[in-house]
Amino acid sequence: MKPEIIKVPTKPFEGQRPGTSGLRKKTRVFMQPDYLENMVQSVFNVIRETAGDFGQHMLVIGGDGRYYNREAIKIIINMAVANGFGKLLVARGGLMSTPAVSAVIRCRGALGGLILSASHNAGGIDEDFGIKYNIHNGGPAPESVTEAIYEQSQKITEYITISDANVDIDREGSTRIGQTQIDVINSLKDYCELMEELFDFESIRRLFASGFRMTFDAMHAITGPYAHHLLEERLGAAQGTVVKGIPLPDFGGHHPDPNLVYAADLVARLADDNGPDFGAACDGDGDRNLILGRRFFVSPGDSLALIAEHAKDAIPAFRDGLAGVARSMPTSTAADRVAQELGIRFYETPTGWKFFGSLLDAGLCTICGEESFGTGSNHVREKDGVWAVLAWLSILARTGKSVEQVVREHWRHFGRSYYQRHDFEGIDTDAAGKMIEALREKIPSLAGSNFGGSQIKTADEFSYTDPVDGSTATRQGIRLLLSDGSRVVVRLSGTGTSGATMRLYVERYINDAGVSDVNEVLAPLLTEAKQLLRLRELTGRDKPNVIT
Ligand code: VG1
Ligand code: CO
């Protein structure tokens, strides 16, 4: 039956500009009539310009299960039918992790996908919601596309939908409405098969069979079902390895953010004498990872470096070696040293996974990472939490060593990047803007001045030209590079939904086998950075909300 297409007149909403990773707002903002619809129609209007008739194309739809996920999925199905897509691949229950959506887009050759998530932000009617469009390569739309979507959203006058497709999204199967085939698909299948191709499951199975114990904290977010299936059912980890494995719309009332603050109970479990050998957690949409050994935290920058170091020997997908490694600018320089030793390419990009896409597509790099607990490879075009956990299990299986031993060996060989990120959340937006502007004005006069026991060699604002397509991104963080190799970086977050969040990143490299205390090493840099920013004076703040 041909559905009746309903044309709905609408008016633009202010501020529908996608940030570091899609459009994120308070859930109630998204729940306003027409808000989500405007955004979705804007995406469709933009991609239709290059894709042409949607009748030939497939769209993947999935989300992290947070509050409003199901309603949003239904709205999108109706609109996608009205807009004439040939096929929709809808995750069963509306649940699919961000890296799994990326995998499905790639495996099935879809035009793109819509992911409903605000990632590590809390969920609930008074918390956050988000939507992101991923393109044909499976990765987040590049800035040229997100800017075009924003422009569309600012001049939109109408969207189209149908009355209700009434698809049972909880049952796998196929239905047809007009010219659109709607397939409700298994959320785990493509992704888990891909993991099995990349990794040596047998060696990880042997590791678990030898008595090795781990805890995986899914934080009541999307990775629970993936981890249950892969770790417990496929790899032989003990039942109970996965905790908080059921996705909940409010993530159990917590921030699904896998760091030392929000995953404190996992950290405590690893501190117990009878605790497991290995601990891991993933975020709301499954693209971030936290890696812990017994009483030992692996900083994301070190994790990236270590995965790059061991990839060739420990992970079959990389047995021919890596083409290159890429990291976002604020991420520690640990991976650079590995790339140098391996004699492979190395790239420094702005914050946000969208900047890795073209490097991965061009085969210039294989492994990428960010300091924000994001690690991934060319298997998809998103960071991938469960992938990182399997990468670590592979390294532990291959070396037969503990997490701490592996990291300490790395530090002995390469030296250590002492590293921290301090987040100052909920700053008044104007105050934050003024503080950054004031620092920007000082940039030209900073070189040569003393700073944190060293001297500022260069001060600049990071800008990036993509080596493949020549696109540029400016104002991607202010950085101070010191003559002893230390770095201080300041930028404002592009994922928050209220006020401003300033991120202060500090790094000091010392070739001391990693034996120093990170707080002591970094204290002088932090003190001077706060003074330079006039942080307390301009924002009334002194202490960060979260240190990672
Ligand atoms: C943060 C991180 C960035 C990450 C982004 C999305 O962005 O710093 O590294 O790519 O979140 O991650 P920002 O602009 O707030 O610093 V996720 O897991 O929210 O998709
Ligand atoms: Co995320």
In tens, the pLDDT along 358-390 reads 999 999 999 999 999 999 999 999 999 999 999
Q: Which of the listed residues 255, 285, 493, 495 should we mutate to test ligand 1's pocket, taking the one with most ligand atoms within 8 A of CB?
A: 495
Q: Is the pLDDT of residue 496 over 80?
A: no
Question: What pLDDT, on the 0 to 100 scale, is given for residue 298?
Answer: 97
At 343, is the pLDDT very low, low, confident or very high (cuts 50, 70, 90)? Answer: very high
Question: What pLDDT, on the 0 to 100 scale, is given for residue 495?
Answer: 81
Ligand 2 centroid to Cα of residue 25, in Å, is 15
Beta bridge partners of 369: 327, 375
Q: Which of 288, 354, 349 is nearest to 140 (CA)?
A: 354
- What is the average per-residue pLDDT within 129-139? 97
Nearest CA to ligand 1 atom 4: 352
Question: What pLDDT, on the 0 to 100 scale, is given for residue 276?
Answer: 97
Ligand 2 centroid to Cα of residue 451, in Å, is 34
Q: Which residue ranges have their beta carbon within 6 Å of ligand 1?
A: 20-21, 119-120, 283, 287-288, 328, 351-353, 370, 372, 374, 493-495, 503
- What is the average per-residue pLDDT within 507-533? 95
Question: What pLDDT, on the 0 to 100 scale, is given for residue 470?
Answer: 94
CB neighbours of 157 closer than 8 A, spacing ≥ 6?
A: 9, 10, 11
Nearest CA to ligand 1 atom 8: 372
Q: Is the pLDDT of residue 38 over 90?
A: yes
- What is the average per-residue pLDDT within 201-207? 98
Question: What pLDDT, on the 0 to 100 scale, is given for residue 1?
Answer: 66
- What is the average per-residue pLDDT within 385-397? 98
Atom of ligand 1 lying closest to residue 287 CA = 18
Nearest CA to ligand 1 atom 2: 372
- The three-state DSSP-derived secondary structure of 469-522 is CCCEECCCCEEEEECCCCEEEEEECCCCCCCEEEEEEEEEEECCCCCCCHHHHH
Nearest CA to ligand 1 atom 16: 493
Q: Is the pLDDT of residue 327 over 80?
A: yes
- What is the average per-residue pLDDT within 288-317? 97
Q: What is the mean pLDDT of the chain?
A: 96
Residues, CB within 5 angstroms of ligand 2 (ion): 119, 283, 285, 287-288
Q: Which residues are catalytic?
A: 119
Nearest CA to ligand 1 atom 18: 119
How far apart CA 287 and CA 315 sit, in angstroms, is 19
Ligand 1 centroid to Cα of residue 76, in Å, is 25
Measuring CA to CA, how many Å separate 500 from each of 164, 223, 541?
A: 39, 29, 12
| CA-CA-CA-CA dihedral for 249, 255, 257, 263, to nearest 10 | -110
At 498, is the pLDDT very low, low, confident or very high (cuts 50, 70, 90)? Answer: confident
Q: Which residue is associated with the tokens 């209220």?
A: 498
Kindly tell me the number of DSSP H helices and DSSP E strands found in the chain.
17, 27
Atom of ligand 1 lying closest to residue 283 CA = 18
Measuring CA to CA, how many Å separate 21 from each of 131, 143, 272, 527?
A: 9, 10, 36, 31
Q: Is the pLDDT of residue 3 over 90?
A: no
Ligand 1 centroid to Cα of residue 83, in Å, is 31
Atom of ligand 1 lying closest to residue 132 CA = 20
Question: What pLDDT, on the 0 to 100 scale, is given for residue 364?
Answer: 97
By the 8 A CB rule, do 465 and 449 touch?
Answer: no
Atom of ligand 1 lying closest to residue 370 CA = 9
Ligand 2 centroid to Cα of residue 327, in Å, is 17
pTM to 2 decimal places? 0.95
Q: Which ligand is nearest to the CA of 128?
A: 1
pLDDT digits 0-9 by tens, 221-263: 999 999 999 999 999 999 999 999 999 999 999 999 999 999 9
Is the model more confident about 20 or about 144? 144
Question: What pLDDT, on the 0 to 100 scale, is given for residue 164?
Answer: 85
Q: Which of the listed residues 25, 351, 371, 381 should we mutate to test ligand 1's pocket, taking the one with most ligand atoms within 8 A of CB?
A: 351
Burial tier of 171 (Cβ tally within 10 Å: 0-12, 13-18, 19+): exposed
pLDDT digits 0-9 by tens, 412-470: 999 999 999 999 999 999 999 999 999 999 999 999 999 988 999 999 999 999 999 99
Question: What pLDDT, on the 0 to 100 scale, is given for residue 384?
Answer: 98
Ligand 1 centroid to Cα of residue 427, in Å, is 18
